[in-house]
Amino acid sequence: MKLWERVHVAKSYQEDIERAQKDAEEDDRSDDDSDSDSSSSSKASSKSSFGAAAMEDEEPAKKNSKRKSAASSSKAKAAPKPVAKQKGKKDKEKAEVAKSMEAAEKFLASLKELQVHTLWKSCVRSNEVDRRLSKESTVVNGLDSALSYDGCPEDVVTKGKQMVTDIQNQSRLVTKLKEFCKILRGIQLTDLVSEVHSPGSLCSLMSADDCELGKHLAADTGTFQDIMGFVAKKLLDVPGL
């Protein structure tokens, strides 16, 4: 081979080596860019995943916060329960007082029906009189109990106590009237004569408690005349009187 041919071959070989090196450098550069893009993509993906995870973590926190807020609101609404309960108790006590007062008024009216003429003429049976009188303690105790609650208005207490006093007075008077009529209708002539000559059970009954029964009998003049006529007729049957 000639010298110039050898030089040409060597030069061509050198150019091939330089081209190969250049291609290799370009490949390396391309790989670096790819790695960089991959790293950026990975970072972005990681960031995106972290953001999603953070959002997922925030959801339960928000829900818990809402639950706590709802619970607090519920407790705030439930707070007035004791007040409502107390109000309900007071309403119940007031209703009990009204009910007891009504029962006492009806009972007092039933006792006032038992007047002198009613009992003397036996307009009401004896067992009915006893039945009415037997209810006194129940009515009075029920009214006293109803009036004893805290916060009961003073005017209601005053009215209730007066009602109790009226019931007790009327009940005592009816008891005396009943006993008076029973004794006088069933009295024997000898006992009646004794009552005329010297005060006995009838006189004691009429004069008790500042002559309460005597005054009540005298107030009903028509019935009192009937009673005096009844006594007079009996006395007329007594020999030598």
pLDDT, tens only, 125-183? 989 999 999 999 999 999 999 888 878 888 989 999 999 999 999 999 999 999 999 98
Q: Are 137 and 147 in contact (CB under 8 A)?
A: no
Spatial separation of the C-alpha atoms in residues 55 and 62, rounded to whole Å: 10
- The whole-number pLDDT of residue 50 equals 43
Spatial separation of the C-alpha atoms in residues 138 and 143, rounded to whole Å: 9
Q: Among the residues of the chain, which ranges form H helices?
A: 3-78, 81-112, 116-120, 126-134, 136-147, 154-186, 189-197, 201-219, 221-236
CA distances from 107 to 99, 130, 216 (A): 12, 13, 20
Can you tell me the mean pLDDT for 41-48? 46
Can you tell me the mean pLDDT for 4-16? 56
Answer whether residue 44 shows pLDDT above 50.
no
Answer whether residue 74 shows pLDDT above 80.
no
Q: What angle do CA 162, 176, 170 make, to 5 degrees?
A: 15
Three-state DSSP class for 237?
coil
Mean pLDDT of the chain: 77
Can you tell me the mean pLDDT for 66-95? 62
116-126 residue pLDDT tens = 999 999 899 98
Answer whether residue 42 shows pLDDT above 50.
no
DSSP string, 215-232: HHHHHSHHHHHHHHHHHH
For the chain, domain boundaries = 90-236
Can you tell me the mean pLDDT for 85-109? 85
Query: pLDDT-based confidence at 24, cuts 50/70/90?
Result: low
Closest listed residue to residue 95, CA positions, set 138, 137, 152: 152
192-228 residue pLDDT tens = 888 777 777 888 888 888 899 999 999 999 999 999 9
Residue reference for tokens 């019935």: 223
Answer whether residue 14 shows pLDDT above 70.
no
- The whole-number pLDDT of residue 52 equals 47
If you ran DSSP here, which 8-state letter would residue 35 be given? H
Of the listed ranges 16-20, 185-189, 223-227, the least confidently predicted one is: 16-20
Closest listed residue to residue 170, CA positions, set 225, 222, 209, 125: 209
